[in-house]
């Protein structure tokens, strides 16, 4: 069962509207790059690789809109398009990585006409999407080597097919273990406040009959303490060259408990999530989102009007809490800095 999170066809970008899952399956259609900017900001589409591919297709839609201009005006407008999309969400480096790949295409083909550049950009957007699926399946296979024949796995947020073009990163490891015949069981953190675990990971796993249970975030520590969890695997939004990793808020806390009880704690992420320009997690910008995400659930107020909320969307797990980083090129073990820098192409 394939979940195609996004698809570019008929000169439009089609996105599963993840704000509506699991109660309704709806498609959000992006006709222009500002639609993509909105879709990323409002988390119609979310998850580092998925917003990387969507941002790239946003550049394609910008080129569609401006390809009638003369070259000079076209190139100027395309800079505006990249700048707008780059600012849609600050933490997941895949967004900037996807847009940079499109900027490189424009630079490499700047002698061509705007219409010809548009065609090249469409090709590159499709390359990014196709590559992502292959990357996730390769990552899943490497990650599966770390999963015992019988294992109870805990995961946080959604690092599944819905966070990528298809198949997922952390859930890609879980899928690979399940489809290879291993006897696995998954505990799914609901993941306050946006509830990606409850709404999205649960939806993915039950659709494929992967044995699982949903827990509130605060249950995880007791399960870990009581020896009920064999390993933890989560996604990532930005990895520093020393291995410090930004991921959904609550990940850091999980890593502390995992370390305390000596449970393997894995990050599953493509190489495109590594930011080779930063040395430590201290340099990662953490997105802060609206108070309403904390004070409301499904639009219903759950806290008094007088109270404000603090709503960081991510936190940073220090590399010393991470057992290994699973990538499409293999498993990165400590010393992370030495082994990550070897991957810089
Ligand atoms: C495979 S990357 C998934 C990563 O992205 C999620 O954040 P968000 O839902 O806010 O885009 C979360 O950090 C996941 O681990």
What tens digit of pLDDT does each residue of 306-331 get?
999 999 999 999 999 999 999 999 99
Atom of ligand 1 nearest to the CA of 314: 13
- For ligand 1, the distance from its centroid to the CA atom of residue 25, given in whole angstroms, is 20
Beta carbons within 8 Å of 12's beta carbon, 6+ residues apart: 29, 30, 31, 61
- Among 5, 88, 236, the mutation site with the greatest number of ligand 1 atoms within 8 A of its Cβ is 236
Same-domain pairing of 126 and 169: no
Specify the number of domains making up the chain.
2
Ligand 1 midpoint to CA 35 (Å): 20
Mean of pLDDT values over 64-86 = 98
At 291, which CATH number?
3.40.50.10470
Q: Are residues 238 and 323 in the same domain?
A: yes
From 86, 101, 136, give the residue that closes a domain. Answer: 136
Tell me, yes or no, whether 1 lies in a domain. Answer: no
**Same-domain status, 131 and 156:** no
Cα 108 to ligand 1 centre (Å): 31
In the predicted structure, residue 1 carries a pLDDT above the cut 70: no
Residue nearest to atom 13 of ligand 1 (CA): 248
- Beta-strand ranges (E) seen in 51-210 are 150-155, 183-189
In a domain, 141, yes or no: no
Please report whether residue 102 resides in a domain: yes
What's the whole-number mean pLDDT along residues 196-200?
A: 98
- HSE, CB side, 13 Å, CA atoms: give it for residue 331: 17
Which residues are within 8 A (CB) of 49 and not within 5 positions of it... i.e. 6 or more apart?
Answer: 94, 132, 135, 136, 163, 164, 165, 169, 270, 272, 273
Domain boundary among 114, 136, 158: 136
Closest residue (by CA) to atom 15 of ligand 1? Answer: 235
C-beta 47 within 6 A of ligand 1:
yes
Distance between CA atoms of 271 and 239, rounded to whole angstroms? Answer: 9
Q: Do residues 106 and 130 share a domain? A: yes
In a domain, 43, yes or no: yes
Query: Is the domain of 266 the same as that of 238?
Result: yes
Residue 344 confidence class, pLDDT cut points 50, 70, 90: confident
Q: Which helix (H) or strand (E) holds 334?
A: none
Residues comprising the binding site? 46-48, 89, 196, 247-248
Distance (angstroms) between ligand 1 centre and the Cα of 247 equals 6
Q: What is the pLDDT of residues 213-260, one digit of tens each?
A: 999 999 999 999 999 999 999 999 999 999 999 999 999 999 999 999
Residue whose CB lies within 8 A of the most ligand 1 atoms, among 48, 166, 175, 252, for a mutation test: 48
Whether residues 253 and 178 fall in one domain: yes
The answer to whether the pTM exceeds 0.95 is: yes
Please report, in range form, the residues annotated as the binding site for substrate. 46-48, 89, 196, 247-248
Closest CA to 40 of 238, 311, 289: 289
Same domain, 272 and 316: yes
Q: Is 245 in the pocket of ligand 1 (CB under 6 A)?
A: no
Q: Indicate whether residue 172 lines ligand 1 (CB < 6 A).
A: no
Q: How confident is the model at residue 3 (pLDDT cuts 50, 70, 90)?
A: confident
Ligand 1 pocket member 46 (CB < 6 A): yes
% the chain with pLDDT above 70: 100
**247 and 322 share one domain:** yes
Residue 157 in contact with ligand 1 by CB distance below 6 A: yes
Ligand 1 atom at minimal distance to the Cα of residue 158:
14
Contact 190, 200 (CB under 8 A): no
- Assess whether pLDDT exceeds 80 at residue 345: no
- State the distance from the centre of ligand 1 to the C-alpha of 92, rounded, in angstroms: 8
Dist. CA 217 → ligand 1 center (Å): 16
Q: In this structure, what CATH number is given to the domain that contains residue 73?
A: 1.20.120.420
| Paired tokens of 223 | 């399960």
Mean pLDDT of the chain: 98
Catalytic residues: 237
Domain end among 90, 108, 136: 136
183 and 214 belong to one structural domain:
yes
Q: Using CA atoms, how far apart are residues 176 and 119, in angstroms rounded to an integer?
A: 35
Instruction: Based on the fold, state whether residues 311 and 337 are members of the same structural domain.
Output: yes
270 lines ligand 1 (CB under 6 A): no
If DSSP states are collapsed to H, E and C, what string results for the chain?
CCCCCEEEECCEEEEECCCCCCCCCCEEEECCHHHHHHHHHCCCCCCHHHHHHHHHHHHHHHHHHHCCCCHHHHHHHHHHHHHHHHCCCCCCHHHHHHHHHHHHHHHHCCCCCHHHHHHHHHHHHHHHHHHHHHHHHHHHHHHHCCCCCEEEEEECCCCCHHHCCCCCCHHHHHHHHHHCCCEEEEEEECCCCCCHHHHHHHHHHHHCCCCEEEECHHHHHHHHHCCCCCEEEECCCEECCCCCEEEECCHHHHHHHHHHCCCCEEEECCHHHECCCCCCHHHCCCCECCCHHHHEECCEECCCCCCCCCCECEEEECHHHCCEEEECCEEECCCHHHHHHCCCC
153 and 132, same domain (yes or no): no
Tell me if 241 CB under 6 Å of ligand 1: no
For CA atoms 101, 136, 156, 40, the dihedral sign is positive
The range of the structural domain enclosing residue 64 comes to: 6-136
Judge whether 244 lies within some domain.
yes
Asked if residue 306 is part of any domain, the answer here is: yes
> For residue 192, is it within any domain?
yes
pLDDT digits (tens, 9 = 90+) for 102-156: 999 999 999 999 999 999 999 999 999 999 999 999 999 999 999 999 999 999 9
């Amino acid at each position: 069962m394939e979940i195609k999170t996004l698809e570019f066809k008929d000169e439009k970008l089609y996105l599963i509207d993840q704000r509506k899952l699991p109660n309704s399956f709806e498609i959000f259609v992006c006709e222009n790059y500002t639609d993509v900017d909105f879709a990323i900001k409002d988390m119609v589409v979310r998850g580092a690789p998925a917003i990387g591919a969507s941002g790239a297709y946003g550049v394609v839609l910008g080129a569609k809109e401006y390809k009638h201009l003369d070259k000079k005006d076209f190139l100027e407008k395309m800079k505006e398009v990249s700048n707008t999309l780059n600012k849609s969400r600050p933490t997941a480096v895949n967004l900037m990585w996807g847009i940079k790949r499109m900027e490189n295409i424009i630079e490499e083909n700047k002698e061509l006409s705007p219409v010809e550049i548009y065609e090249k950009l469409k090709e590159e957007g499709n390359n990014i999407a196709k590559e992502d699926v292959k990357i996730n399946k390769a990552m899943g296979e490497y990650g599966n080597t770390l999963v015992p024949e019988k294992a109870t796995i805990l995961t946080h947020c959604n690092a599944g097919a819905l966070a990528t073009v298809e198949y997922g990163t952390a859930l890609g490891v879980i899928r690979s273990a399940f489809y290879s015949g291993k006897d696995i069981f998954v505990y799914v953190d609901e993941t306050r406040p946006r509830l990606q675990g409850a709404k999205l990971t649960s939806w993915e796993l039950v659709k494929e009959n992967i044995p699982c249970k949903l827990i509130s975030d605060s249950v995880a520590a007791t399960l870990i303490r009581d020896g009920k969890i064999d390993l933890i695997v989560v996604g990532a939004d930005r990895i520093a060259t020393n291995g410090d990793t930004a991921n959904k808020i609550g990940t850091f806390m999980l890593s502390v408990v995992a370390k305390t009880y000596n449970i393997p704690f894995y990050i599953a992420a493509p190489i495109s999530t590594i930011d080779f320009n930063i040395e430590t997690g201290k340099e990662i910008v953490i997105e802060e989102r609206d108070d309403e995400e904390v004070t409301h659930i499904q639009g219903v107020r759950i806290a008094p009007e007088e109270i404000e909320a603090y709503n960081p969307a991510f936190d940073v797990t220090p590399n010393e809490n991470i057992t290994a980083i699973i990538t499409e090129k293999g498993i990165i073990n400590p010393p992370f800095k030495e082994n990550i820098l070897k991957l810089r192409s």
